Amino acid sequence: MVLEIAVKAFAVWLGILVLAIANGTLREVVLIPAMVKRSGLILSGVLLSGLILTVAYFALPWIGQVPVASYAAIGFGWLCLTLAFEFTFGRLIQGKPWSQLLEAYTFKDGNVWSVVLLITALAPYLAARIRGWA
């Protein structure tokens, strides 16, 4: 049962990853060119946070009703997977220095990535609360 929940949670995270990549493309190609960088970053962060919460809400029935601690574990797992992807992709694929990667966590120029990560970690629990499961 635990393995099945973990596999389902991982599958949902892969969907979130696809949405996050699409959001990043939208941000760089449309939002930032159309408005100032600060507004584009904030709007992108709010949009991604909303998408993550929406995915969590609609995915919970598929994952199943579990104890509250399991929702926290799923959120922590999503956070860890996101950080692992972010740093691995940034360092190995894009070749960015650590200083540039860590700049996303400083709220510089309106970057709300830290808030998105917090929402990622809390999304399963918040979605369960909204559904009345927690």
Q: Is 63 part of any domain?
A: yes
Q: Is 75 part of any domain?
A: yes
99-118 pLDDT, tens digit each: 999 999 999 999 999 999 99
Q: Residue 134 has what pLDDT?
A: 82
Q: Is 134 part of any domain?
A: no
Residue 1 pLDDT > 90 = no
Please give the residue range of the domain that contains residue 47: 2-129
* Alpha helices in 1-134, H assignment, sequence order: 2-26, 32-34, 37-63, 68-88, 98-103, 113-131
Q: Is 65 part of any domain?
A: yes
23-44 pLDDT, tens digit each: 999 999 999 999 999 999 999 9
Domain total in the chain: 1
Q: Is 101 part of any domain?
A: yes
Q: Is 39 part of any domain?
A: yes
Residues near 75 by Cβ (< 8 Å), separated by ≥ 6? 120, 121, 122, 123, 124, 125
% of the chain at pLDDT higher than 90: 99
Count of residues for the chain?
134
pTM listed for this prediction: 0.95
Q: Is 31 part of any domain?
A: yes
Helix axes 2-26, 68-88, angle to 10 degrees: 50
123-134 pLDDT, tens digit each: 999 999 999 998
